[in-house]
């Protein structure tokens, strides 16, 4: 008689089968070709073809649709070098880096002094963690970052990127409220279409349903409130102040819906990237602060992109008069020459950790890596010596004006943003602001624009996480001559765009 197999042994059998190497040995790797390793061992330079094949065979790229690479003509773009606001691919083609690679190489590429700072630090102290210890580059960088920050921020908790800093802010908020006797405060409000990172916590904060669907169930307790997309605001709002006030009041409404005793924080980017560079009037920020004070909710400014000069001040909080309880920094802290992020907080949030046995049981191996901190300090020296923040402040109006020339094209519905951070929203009908269907977006963005921009030598972002936009965030080193160049390239690409749908 057949015995019933237990669920546990069934699972165990299933797992074993799933992982059984196809050649029947336990060392499938031994049979793998390693042409790059072989070339390296014999001192031979790998050819571009070898690199292309190895990339296709071995890599899993981020946020990437891989299928085109496995067609007859499919090629993964391999970037070989970069200098200033340009980079080059494996075929020697030159591109204008219109989004500072990932909104992050703010001083431009190829600054050898950052490499020298890294080498010097590596020779002196290669690595040490922040576990109950500190090191000079980390100490110096904390002071330097705070010197640019709103005066109420007094402490720096390092991470390796923006998502980790957002994650940290939420965990800290939860623990802080537990420690001060408000243990139910744990919920977080974030804004529709905003992106805050990819780990489970940061993704839960993110307001883009399509990005979250595959990873449900996520961390509970996050709630969406409206963003500040004035172009898509109902027409009864006469100006951004009125609309801003309305949007901020929705946060109060949500806090009341959810019970103020349960809400810990609200996250907002000073200029929201996802959806296409949504700015907000100072009225919005003032009202949001009032609401946070009224209900003891912490305001977290996610400056992952807007930090380090992008908006025309070192931090965008300064430009818009935002008073945050926590501020998230990453990307351009090192101009992305090294991975580094940080969370800056008020002393109030640190105070409970100064007493007794209290600790924040949270940290990252590579956070405040001494080499990354040394590179960040050198990067900030470049900012100061070349007055890059001033360059943005002096030129932002010219940049906007140059991009607004594109309004003569029927597909350009809205040019918006600030500093060196602009989005161009594409529309089907300018008069009615009618947008494209998902199928049309697919054809327009992935079927045409992404490839067409690269063809004319422009690296910019064509994005439809909200309505379709092209985004620009060039290095802070450029000026009017390069604005014209960007406008010309976009004109070339956008002029025939409507006919590609």
Ligand X SMILES: Cc1ncc(COP(=O)(O)O)c(C=O)c1O
Single residue of 98, 137, 150, 161 touching ligand X by CB under 6 A: 161
Q: Is 273 in the site for ligand X (CB under 6 A)?
A: yes
Residue 191 is a binding residue for ligand X (CB under 6 A): no
Closest approach of Cβ 162 to ligand X, in Å?
A: 3
Q: Which residue has the tokens 């690595």?
A: 127
Residue 367: closest CA among 131, 103, 106, 136: 131
Kindly determine how many residues on this chain lie close enough to bind ligand X according to the rule CB under 6 A.
14
- Please check whether residue 380 is in contact with residue 340, taking contact to mean a CB–CB distance below 8 angstroms: no
Options 263, 327, 330, 376; binder of ligand X; rule CB under 6 A: 330
Q: What is the 3-state secondary structure (H, E, C) of 388-447?
A: HHHHHHHHHHHHHHHHHHHHHCCCEEEEEEECCEEEEEECCECCCCECCCHHHHHHHHHH
* Cβ-based nearer residue to ligand X, 62 or 133: 62
Q: Identify which of 260, 193, 179 has the alpha carbon closest to the alpha carbon of residue 227.
A: 193
Closest distance to ligand X from the beta carbon of 313 (Å): 17
Expressed in angstroms, the distance from the first to the final Cα of the chain is: 65
**Considering beta carbons, is residue 268 or 493 the nearer one to ligand X?**
268
Backbone φ, ψ for residue 49 (5° rounding): -65, -40
Contact by Cβ (8 Å): 422, 415? yes
The distance of closest approach from Cβ of residue 115 to ligand X in the complex, given in angstroms and rounded to an integer, is 22
CB of 141 to ligand X, least distance (A): 17
Among 186, 196, 416, 465, binds ligand X (CB under 6 A): 196
The least distance separating ligand X from the CB of residue 140, rounded to whole angstroms, comes to: 22
Position among 148, 158, 177, 195 found at the interface with ligand X (CB under 6 A): 195
Ranges of H-type helices in 223-311: 240-258, 282-295
Q: Considering the rule CB under 6 A, would residue 197 count as an interface residue with ligand X?
A: yes
| CB-based contacts of 192, cutoff 8 Å, min separation 6 | 207, 224, 225, 226, 227, 275
Q: Quick check: 150 binds ligand X (CB under 6 A)? A: no
Task: Give yes or no for residue 364 binding ligand X (CB under 6 A).
Answer: no
Phi-psi region for residue 360, left (φ > 0), alpha (ψ -120 to 50) or beta?
Answer: beta
Question: From the CB of 269, what's the least distance to ligand X, in Å?
Answer: 5
Give CA angle at 203 (416, 191), nearest 5°: 40
Contacting ligand X within 433-472 (CB under 6 A)? none
Return the axis-axis angle of helices 136-148 and 370-385, rounded to nearest 10°.
40
Query: Does the protein bind ligand X through residue 302 (CB under 6 A)?
Result: yes
Which one of 58-66, 83-91, 301-309, 374-382 is the stretch in contact with ligand X (CB under 6 A)? 301-309
Residue 248: Cβ-neighbour burial (10 angstroms; 0-12, 13-18, 19+): buried
CB of 196 to ligand X, least distance (A): 5
- 65 Cβ contact list (under 8 Å, min separation 6): 446
Applying CB under 6 A, which of residues 89, 240, 252, 269 lies at the interface with ligand X?
Answer: 269
Minimum CB distance to ligand X smaller for 145 or for 427 = 145
Query: How many whole angstroms separate alpha carbon 110 and alpha carbon 92?
Result: 17
Query: Which residue stretch of 26-34, 56-64, 225-233, 297-305 sits at the interface with ligand X (rule: CB under 6 A)?
Result: 297-305
Q: Is there binding between residue 487 and ligand X (CB under 6 A)?
A: no
Among residues 137, 138, 162, 244, which is the contact residue for ligand X, using CB under 6 A?
162
Nearer to ligand X, 413 or 466 (CB): 466
Question: Does 275 engage in binding with ligand X (CB under 6 A)?
Answer: no
Which residues is 429 bridged to in the sheet? 434
Cα–Cα distance, 299 to 286 (Å, whole number): 11
Window contacting ligand X (CB under 6 A); options: 126-134, 157-165, 173-181, 230-238: 157-165
Which residues in this chain contact ligand X in the complex, by CB under 6 A?
A: 161-163, 166, 195-197, 269, 273, 302, 304-305, 330, 341
């Amino acid at each position: 008689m057949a015995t019933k197999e237990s669920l546990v042994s069934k699972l165990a059998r299933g797992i074993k089968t799933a992982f059984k190497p196809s050649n029947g040995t336990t060392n499938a790797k031994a049979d793998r070709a390693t042409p790059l390793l072989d070339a390296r061992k014999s001192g031979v330079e790998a050819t571009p073809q070898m690199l292309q094949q190895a990339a296709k065979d071995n890599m899993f790229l981020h946020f990437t649709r891989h299928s085109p690479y496995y067609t007859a003509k499919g090629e993964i773009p391999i970037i070989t070098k970069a200098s200033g606001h340009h980079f080059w691919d494996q075929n020697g083609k030159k591109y204008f880096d219109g989004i500072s690679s990932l909104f992050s190489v703010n001083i431009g590429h190829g600054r050898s002094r950052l490499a020298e700072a890294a080498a010097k630090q590596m020779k002196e102290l290669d690595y040490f963690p922040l576990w109950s210890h500190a090191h000079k580059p980390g100490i110096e960088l904390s002071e330097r970052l705070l010197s640019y920050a709103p005066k109420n921020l007094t402490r720096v908790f390092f991470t390796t990127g923006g998502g980790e800093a957002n994650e940290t802010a939420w965990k800290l908020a939860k623990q802080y409220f537990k420690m001060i006797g408000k243990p139910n405060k744990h919920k977080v409000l974030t804004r529709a279409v905003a992106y805050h990172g990819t780990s489970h916590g940061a993704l839960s904060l993110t307001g883009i349903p399509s990005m979250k669907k595959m990873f449900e169930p996520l961390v509970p307790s996050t709630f969406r409130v409206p963003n500040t997309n004035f172009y898509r605001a109902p027409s009864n709002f006469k100006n951004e102040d009125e609309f801003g006030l309305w949007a901020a009041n929705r946060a109060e409404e949500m806090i009341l819906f959810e019970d103020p005793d349960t809400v810990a924080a609200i996250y907002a980017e000073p200029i929201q990237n996802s959806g296409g560079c949504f700015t907000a009037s100072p009225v919005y920020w003032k009202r949001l602060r009032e609401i946070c004070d009224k209900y003891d909710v912490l305001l977290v400014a996610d400056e992952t992109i807007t930090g380090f000069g992008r908006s025309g001040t070192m931090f965008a909080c300064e430009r818009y008069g935002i008073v945050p309880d926590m501020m998230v920094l990453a990307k351009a802290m090192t101009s992305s020459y090294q991975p580094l992020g940080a969370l800056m907080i008020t002393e109030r949030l640190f105070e409970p950790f100064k007493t007794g046995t209290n600790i924040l049981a949270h940290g990252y191996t590579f956070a405040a890596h001494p080499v990354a901190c040394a590179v960040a300090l050198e990067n900030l020296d470049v900012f100061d010596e070349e007055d890059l923040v001033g360059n943005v402040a002096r030129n932002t109006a010219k940049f906007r004006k140059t991009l607004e020339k594109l309004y003569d094209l029927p597909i350009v519905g809205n040019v918006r943003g600030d500093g060196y951070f602009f989005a161009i929203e594409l529309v089907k009908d300018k008069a009615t602001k009618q947008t494209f269907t998902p199928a049309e977006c697919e054809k327009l963005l992935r079927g045409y624009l992404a490839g067409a921009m690269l063809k004319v030598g422009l690296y910019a972002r064509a994005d439809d996480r909200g309505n379709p936009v092209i985004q620009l965030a060039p290095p802070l080193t450029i000026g009017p001559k390069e604005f014209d160049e960007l406008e010309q390239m976009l004109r070339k690409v956008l002029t025939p765009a409507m006919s590609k749908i």
